[in-house]
């Protein structure tokens, strides 16, 4: 079970959740998002009853299963999905902490991230670099998946520019957006040195978790600005130790300096531009962060961290298998 898959003790729909029942489905709307659930005829009555019980709250998942035995097995996954979408609160749990300023929340978020990292083992990618078992293909795979992130980055950031922000933050976001343009060209140079062409990059597909990580940032930018600002802290973290290890392993495996130098330069550009500080600066302008928003941000950050950890494993697994195609092009033209 992942960190985000713990059920609420007494799930209750938030006040803003709207339900619309029809003969074959239930439509659920919350703020600017929504979903629909197809209902099989024989399960219609109990499904509608479940949603009505969630509107009143006060019952545990086990009690909901007892009230709706015909759909008992589906209830946990349904509650997890509704909770993931931010549609539920825990009626039993009283939030004791009050609202805080954005500056205070940044400090708490920083501590929260450090605690969260301790729940995961050390990065297997770093471990393999330290013990010198990482392969040439896995080093190239890191660069390939980094290319996707840098190439997509402007598109992922763009929705944040349409949000209502103070003039100061709008200016800062525009400058940050501009500073991220064309970073993919550095990674493209790196990949060209190992025989991967620009035409191949255009046809290349990211690993599923690379796509998931990128999609998360885009969704936060459009739907939850606080989570977007918090997530930038994770994207812009710089590790000098990691990059020195990366350089050393590249040299050990006779990869050209033209491969690793652009990657190191990209890290240095971010470091010189103080990109690690972007979250602190953005949150400092937020006057008030409600208890609910604090929980939403922490939940989103936890899910993002899980995705990043899974992405590392995917890079090692895919690029460590000599049977897999590198780069990940699945047509016969240009790859």
> Looking up tokens 């999905």, which residue turns up?
81
pLDDT grade, residue 335 (50/70/90)?
low
Please state, in angstroms and rounded to a whole number, the distance separating the CA atoms of residues 145 and 44. 44
pLDDT grade, residue 310 (50/70/90)?
very high
Answer whether residue 262 shows pLDDT above 60: yes
| Residues 6 or more apart whose Cβ sits within 8 Å of residue 30 | 14, 16, 17, 18, 85, 86, 87
As beta bridge partners, residue 29 has 18, 34
For 78-124, the pLDDT digits (tens) are: 999 898 888 888 876 544 447 889 999 999 999 999 888 888 888 99
pTM for the predicted model, two decimal places = 0.70
The CATH 3.90.930.60 portion of the chain extends over 11-90
pLDDT at 250: 97
In 3D space, the residue among 293, 290, 285, 280 whose CA is nearest the CA of residue 165 turns out to be 285
Q: How many CB atoms lie within 10 A of CB 257?
A: 12
Please state, in angstroms and rounded to a whole number, the distance separating the CA atoms of residues 304 and 293. 16
Contact 113, 280 (CB under 8 A): no
Contact 102, 291 (CB under 8 A): no
For 129-139, the pLDDT digits (tens) are: 999 999 999 99
- What is the crossing angle of helices 44-56 and 75-84, to 10°? 50
Measured in Å, how far apart are the chain's first and last C-alpha atoms? 38
pLDDT at 181: 80
Of 287 and 246, the structure prediction assigns the larger pLDDT to: 246
Beta strands in the chain (DSSP E): 11-13, 18-21, 25-30, 33-38, 88-90
> Percentage of the chain surpassing pLDDT 90?
54
Of 15 and 10, the structure prediction assigns the larger pLDDT to: 10
Q: How many CB atoms lie within 10 A of CB 184?
A: 20
Answer whether residue 14 shows pLDDT above 70: yes
For 198-212, the pLDDT digits (tens) are: 999 999 999 999 999
Contact 311, 144 (CB under 8 A): no
**Which range among 6-10, 209-213, 331-335 has the greatest average pLDDT?**
209-213
SS3 30: strand
Q: How many CB atoms lie within 10 A of CB 85?
A: 15
Of 317 and 181, the structure prediction assigns the larger pLDDT to: 317
Q: Spell 4-34 as b/e; 16+ CB within 10 A means b.
A: eeebbebbbbeeebeeeeeeeebebebeeee
The rounded mean pLDDT for the chain is 88
The CATH 1.20.910.10 portion of the chain extends over 102-319
> Looking up tokens 């759909």, which residue turns up?
71
pLDDT at 94: 42
Please state, in angstroms and rounded to a whole number, the distance separating the CA atoms of residues 335 and 197. 9
> Percentage of the chain surpassing pLDDT 70?
92
For 142-161, the pLDDT digits (tens) are: 999 999 999 999 999 999 99
Q: Return the CATH number of 102-319, one of 3.90.1300.10, 3.40.50.1700, 1.20.910.10, 3.40.50.10210.
A: 1.20.910.10
pLDDT grade, residue 270 (50/70/90)?
low
pLDDT at 3: 40
Please state, in angstroms and rounded to a whole number, the distance separating the CA atoms of residues 101 and 99. 7
For 28-79, the pLDDT digits (tens) are: 888 778 888 888 888 888 998 898 888 877 788 999 999 999 999 999 999 9
Answer whether residue 271 shows pLDDT above 60: yes
Architecture of domain 11-90 in this structure: Alpha-Beta Complex (3.90)
């Amino acid at each position: 079970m992942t960190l985000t898959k713990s059920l609420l003790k007494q799930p209750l729909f938030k006040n803003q959740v709207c339900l619309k029942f029809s003969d074959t489905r239930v439509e659920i709307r919350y703020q600017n998002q929504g979903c629909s659930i197809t209902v099989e005829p024989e399960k219609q009555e109990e499904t509608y009853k479940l949603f009505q019980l969630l509107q009143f709250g006060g019952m545990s998942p086990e009690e909901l299963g007892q009230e709706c035995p015909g759909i008992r097995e589906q209830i946990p996954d349904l509650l997890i999905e509704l909770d993931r979408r931010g549609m539920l609160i825990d009626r039993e749990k009283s939030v004791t902490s009050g609202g805080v300023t954005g500056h205070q929340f940044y400090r708490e978020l920083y501590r929260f991230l450090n605690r969260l990292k301790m729940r995961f083992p050390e990065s297997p990618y770093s471990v393999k670099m330290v013990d010198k078992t990482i392969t040439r293909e896995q080093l190239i795979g890191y660069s390939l998946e980094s290319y996707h992130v840098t190439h997509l980055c402007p598109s992922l950031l763009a929705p944040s520019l349409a949000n209502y922000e103070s003039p100061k933050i709008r200016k800062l976001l525009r400058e940050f957006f501009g500073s991220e343009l064309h970073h993919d060209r550095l990674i493209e140079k790196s990949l060209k040195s190992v025989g991967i062409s620009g035409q191949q990059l255009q046809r290349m597909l990211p690993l599923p978790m690379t796509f998931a990580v990128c999609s998360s940032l885009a969704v936060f930018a459009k739907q939850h600005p606080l989570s977007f600002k918090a997530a930038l802290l994770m994207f812009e973290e710089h590790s000098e130790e990691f990059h020195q290890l990366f350089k050393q392993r590249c040299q050990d495996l006779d990869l050209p300096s033209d491969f690793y130098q652009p990657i190191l330069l990209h890290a240095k550009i971010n470091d010189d531009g103080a990109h690690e500080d972007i979250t602190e600066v953005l949150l400092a302008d937020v006057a008030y962060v409600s208890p609910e928003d604090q929980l939403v941000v922490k939940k989103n950050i936890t899910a993002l961290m899980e995705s990043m950890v899974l992405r590392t494993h995917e890079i090692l697994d895919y690029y460590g298998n000599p049977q897999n195609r590198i780069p990940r092009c699945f047509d016969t033209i240009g790859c």
